Amino acid sequence: MLNKIEKAYKKSDVYLEVLSYLVILIVVGI
């Protein structure tokens, strides 16, 4: 059970990193 939660958390963590990276690119672009 914990393993599944950890994997899901890591996936969302990566998603947040990609999202913040895109936001930075957009801000720098403007």
pTM (predicted TM-score): 0.54
Instruction: Give yes or no for residue 3 having a pLDDT over 90.
Output: no
Residue 17 has pLDDT above 80, yes or no: yes
CA distance between the termini of the chain: 44
How large is the average pLDDT for residues 8-16? 84
Amino acid identity of residue 13, one-letter, is D
Amino acid at 16: L
Distance CA 21, CA 7 (A): 21
Provide the pLDDT for residue 10.
81
Joined together, the tokens standing for residue 3 give 């393993």
